[in-house]
Structure 1
Amino acid sequence: MFYGDDVINEVIEKNDIVDVVSSYVKLKKSGANYFGLCPFHNEKSPSFCVSPAKQMFYCFGCGEGGSVITFVMKYENYSFAEALKFLAEKAGMQLPEGEVSEESKRNADIRNKILEVNVLSARYYYHILVNGNDKSGLDYFKGRELSDDTIKKFGLGYTGKKSSLYQYVKSKGYSDDILKETGLFVFDEKGVYDKFWNRVMFPIFDVNNKVIAFGGRVLGDAKPKYVNSNETKVFNKSNNMYGLNLARTSRSDYMLICEGYMDVISLHQAGFNMAVAALGTSLTIGHANLVKRYAKKVILTFDSDEAGTKAALRAIPIFLNAGLSVKVLNMKPYKDPDEFIKNLGKEEFQKRIDEAENYFIFKIKQLEKNYDINTPDGKTDFYKEIANELSNFGEELERNNYIEAVSREFSIDRKQLSDLVTKMLYKPKKATSYDKEIDNRNKMVDEEDDAILTSQRLLLTWLIEEPAIYDKIIKYVNSTDFTDEFYKDVADKVFKQFAEGKVNPVLIINSYEDEQMHKKVARIFNSELNSELNDKEREKALNEIVINIKLNSIRNKQSTTTDLNEYQMLMNLEEEIKNINIKL
């Protein structure tokens, strides 16, 4: 749907970006802004910034950015119109009837056709599995002791050794342009062929039970063992989890977080319908926030080998940062849930769930493996390591509770441990990667930008953050001096807003419907201005920026003019510009 600026602006005004984003991401105030772990890429240190003043977000790590509408589009995998409707409903607004823009029509049509092709493909794969002459896929699933009901429930399938999905879907009237968008086919100079072949197939559903992608496991020893669909207009790995469409209706206050598709399927077949898994990628804060919508606790149900232990240790802080309670399930002596249940049964597995270990105790037990506690030095170093970990708890009550639990679990004198923790609390800490990242958050994603584009970005950011400088610079520079076409378009909108007396960067972002454009505009409005400069240094910096932009504009005009008078005029202007002196 097409809506005017007034409607878009009203939706934005009624949805404060900090409130909306904090319902998905755990944010911490730092100065005038809020920071947290980016939900759009995997990171250990917060580089995701939300600005209440600008009503924008920007990640200094991956470059994602935009308005509250952009955030919902990206996080929920919505179109612009869908995100606007979602936020309007959240604010209790009734959107007026709008006209459908051509771009919205085209994007909605592509999304719908991708979903249609995905459903056709899932049915095709299921038919080949159940009714095809090649029983390799069915033999694999039966060998894993999956019932017919489970196979049907999860829509499992098989591609065959010579998959012909392309011919089947083409026969239904879909164009190559749409099939390229699905990620199910490879188009190259040799022709077109199916992405998946000789694999058992796992359809991936979103929370609304729409088939959005596929995972395929090879039969045999070929590598890679698992292959997933590419990300498309309907599929984002970080915003979806395998099995969540079923697990969200389990009415359980916890979810079992597994490593793979078969773990989830085996657990559901055994009656544990709260099991989910990430989609062939490392867990992110996006996954954690998705789980948080449906559960308060997670139990990490990873393989009991070294790789599974490392995966659990990586996952713990991600779920904690989302505000979830975290425990770790012990599956020893068996490797994974499927193997455990087949050997000891679902009742014993439920017992292990009930006895799942607190994440912190699990973490300390893993640290203990690094020390020889049979020696005085080893034991001392281990206790110091424990105290250091305990000192990271900000809440005194929580810290004291964990001191008590650890003392009991590892037979350590409580007072001695408490005293050691106190020393750690007052010990100067080294600068963390978080500190370094925030100090250097002006580092942009694209390292190839030249000085002119940097100057243009800095001026636009400065104008947005300090509108009072507009009157001081407008006599020297305007939007026609921006040489990059996209920057010029953004500058046109900024200068127009100033001329009309109403500056709103979010409206500029939302004048573009494409997410990538939102990201580019957000980057322009989030260049880092050095806040430590004194007034004289700020004046010098502003003059240098304006001079750089104007001189570049003049020289571009000089290179194209054939009029000698105009060329001379430009040369005179060049000398004048070099001597400007803007006062703040």
Structure 2
Amino acid sequence: MPYFSDDIIEEVRSRNDIVDVIGQYVHLTKKGSTYFGLCPFHNEKTGSFSVSPNKQMYYCFGCGAGGNVFTFMMQYENFTFGEAMEALADRAGVALPKQEYSAAQKREADKKQRLLEINKEAARYFYTLLRNDRGKHALAYFQKRELSEETMKKFGLGYSDQYSDDLYRYLRSKGYEDEILKESGLVTIDERRGGYDKFWNRAMFPIMDVHNKVIGFGGRVMGDGEPKYLNSPETPIFDKSRNLYGLNFARTTKKPQFLLCEGYMDVIALHQAGFDNAVASLGTALTAGHANLLKRYTKEVYLTYDSDGAGVKAALRAIPILKEVGITTKVINMRPHKDPDEFIKALGAEAYQDRIDHAENSFMFEIRILEQQYDMKDPESKSAFYHEVAKKLCSFTEKIERDIYVQAVAEKYMLPTQDLQRLVGKYGMQMEGIRKQPTQLKTGINEKNASARGIKKEDGMKQSQKLLLTWLIENTGLYHKIKKYIAPKDFTEEIYHKVAEVLFQQFEESGEANPAKIVSMFPDEEAQKEIAALFNARIHEIESKEDREKALKETIIRIKQNSIKYRSGHLAPTDMAGLMQLVTDKRDLEELEKLHISID
């Protein structure tokens, strides 16, 4: 990751007004001093997404997404921080200092850049061939599949010529050497045959990464050749287990879930029909890498695999992989049709949306497929099925979730719920660690009660500290009225303490707050989100000035009392300086309780 100084980061941030940048992606409407719009990070009908030109920050009161202009670009465009810096610096005309790389790093970066150039050149060539006489068979194929010219252009579809060295000769004419062409995966170099193409006489599907850079290709043979579908091999820029076809488009969908398909044509057909949330793995079974990639963009995945036996097996393999990373999964039923492409051609987009709306819970899908292995008319086989179902139900470690599924399965198969619950309990007790359940349950109840009391208190204090930090940045004159009584040490939450230190320093040095700059000091995305939340605590619901002043005073007193109590509990017996400070703080607290604090 490239290193940038704090000064250059702040220059780039300050020269990219957050309202202007976000306004390119989200329709914003001004209300008072703040802009509002529909949140691009979750599906909503009423605009809870706020952008503050004063704070140079955004915050969604619905899903909690928030940060500064860098955070937005990283979340929306899925950029790294370095990529966000480069994009915003380019937008503002800021020249970034050249990064120092080792000789090996420079060679590797140069190689990857050349491979991207080669793929881009190849994609352009294939795209051109499709649209002249040499590509008429591939064009006819795409047209037969009912793809519009607009769709073909969107996905950059093309054709690789019937001559097996056509692309090789073209790329050589562009100045690329055999060594780099071999590494691209587009060309094979043979001592006897020379250079020849990986893809020839095929309808071509460029594969793009999330930043719309061509990293590989898929090709469907025109005619009876084998294999029917061929993909680029792994290269320094193409890892098929960590990329998904169509993700460059699907990542900006407003739909609440992703549709996971098996093939390129399924993705393209779904996008053409208006389902811009469709993606597919690249000629390989779903991997943990795919699942983690999906998790960055969605919490829900609907499997829309082929309805044949192979598609069912693929779905059964995918479900636990997705569950492992915390993705909720459902299965779309496309019968009597084979795949999404065929379904939409036959029944249309509206019918497909209905199938999405009625998609099957993945666990119930697994149970339904399991049922097919048993003769439900035979009592012995039927009993064996119920025992297998009970074993599967034990996979739910949360009792409440397990009970819900027990009830759902019992209702579907007309079983008494208590009988199935008893069977699940029997198998559950046989599992490692479950035998300790009575002890754990007793401890858990005690911990839960204690935790509930502690969390309520902690949450109340966190909220008080949030409120005061929000007050300080929205009413900068307040700082000089309260700095005698409140210091960064009084913010006992670790991240709030760090923020308060920087904020108080800003007030002392310039008399102004720069919350967006503070966000940039925290590289972790979750920390940035939390800081955005603490700078957007709701304080304006108290209407009258008198009530707001009373609430402010009570908040400051509460924070000070908590700080004194916290430091008293952590004070070493020999710490005389700390003890004297506590005495001073208690005296200040008594004075504070008599004080009137104006918010003017």
Write the mapping of 1:363-378 to structure 2, written as runs, cut at 5 A: 363-378=366-381
Residues 252 and 295 of structure 1 are in contact (CA less than 8 Å); yes or no, is this contact kept in structure 2?
A: no
**1:255 partnered with 2:258:** yes
How far does residue 86 in structure 1 lie from its aligned partner after superposition? 8.1
State whether residues 241 and 276 of structure 1, in contact with CA within 8 Å, keep that contact through their aligned partners in structure 2.
yes
- Structure 1: gaps spanning 5 or more residues: 4-81, 90-94, 431-584
Partner residue of 1:385?
388
Whether the 8 Å contact between 1:158 and 1:198 is mirrored in structure 2 is yes
Q: Does structure 1 residue 274 correspond to structure 2 residue 252?
A: no
Match of 1:156 in 2: 157
Amino acid at match of 2:119: N
Distance 1:291 1:320 in 2: 12
Task: Report what 1:18 is aligned to.
Answer: none
Identity %: 56
CA gap of 1:108–1:356, structure 2 versus 1, over 3 A, is same
Distance 1:96 1:135 in 2: 49
How many Å apart are 1:239 and its aligned residue?
1.1
Structure 1, residues 505-550: CA drift from partner, whole Å, max 9, x if none?
A: xxxxxxxxxxxxxxxxxxxxxxxxxxxxxxxxxxxxxxxxxxxxxx
Q: How does 1:81-230 map to 2 (within 5 A)?
A: 98-163=99-164, 164-189=166-191, 190-230=193-233
C-alpha spacing 1:2/1:143, structure 2 compared with 1 (3 Å): closer
Report the Cα offset of residue 2 of structure 1: 9.0
Amino acid at match of 2:210: V
Matches within 5 A, 1:555-574: none
Give the secondary-structure state (helix, strand or coil) at the position aligned to 1:204: strand
What letter matches 2:411 in structure 1? R
The alignment covers a number of residue pairs equal to 348
Counterpart amino acid of residue 426 in structure 2: K
* Deviation, structure 1 residue 160: 2.1
Q: d(CA) in 2 for partners of 1:108 and 1:97?
A: 14
Shift of 1:341: 0.7
**What letter corresponds to residue 157 of structure 1 in structure 2?**
G
Cα distance in 1 between the residues matched to 2:370 and 2:398: 23
- State the distance in 2 between where 1:285 and 1:239 align: 9
Mapped partners of 2:219, 2:249: distance in 1? 20
Answer with 1 or 2: which has the greater Rg. Answer: 2
Partner residue, 1:325: 328
Measure the CA separation in 2 of the matches of 1:171 and 1:298: 45
Q: Matches of 1:429 and 1:300 in 2, distance apart?
A: 32
Instruction: Give the Å deviation of 1:102.
Output: 1.3
Alpha-carbon shift at residue 173 of structure 1 (Å): 1.2
Matches within 5 A, 1:463-478: none
Structure 1 consecutive aligned stretches of length 4 or more whose deviation exceeds 6 Å: 86-89
The amino acid that maps onto 2:428 is L
- What SS does structure 1 have at the residue aligned with 2:182? helix
Q: How far does residue 423 in structure 1 lie from its aligned partner after superposition?
A: 0.4
**Separation in 1 of the partners of 2:160 and 2:112?**
24
Name the aligned partner's letter for residue 190 of structure 2: D
Deviations 1:306-331 (Å, cap 9, x if unpaired)? 11000000000000001000000000
Q: What is the SS of the residue equivalent to 1:212? A: strand
User: 1:301 maps to which residue?
Assistant: 304
**Contact 1:2/1:101 (8 A) holds in 2:** no
- Contact 1:300/1:327 (8 A) holds in 2: yes
One-letter code of the match for 1:229? S
238, 241, 244: which one pairs with 1:238? 241
Q: Contact (CA 8 Å) 1:247, 1:273: kept in 2 or not?
A: yes
Change (3 A) 1:143 1:87: closer
User: Contact 2:134/2:161 (CA < 8 Å) preserved in 1?
Assistant: no
- Tell me, which stretches of 5 or more residues in structure 2 are unaligned? 4-78, 87-95, 434-600
Name the structure, 1 or 2, with higher relative contact order (CA <8 Å, separation 6+): 1
Q: TM-score, normalised by structure 2?
A: 0.56
Shift in alpha-carbon separation, 1:184–1:297, aligned structure 2, 3 A: same
Q: Provide TM-score, normalisation by structure 1.
A: 0.57
Q: 1:204 to 1:341 in 2, by over 3 A?
A: same
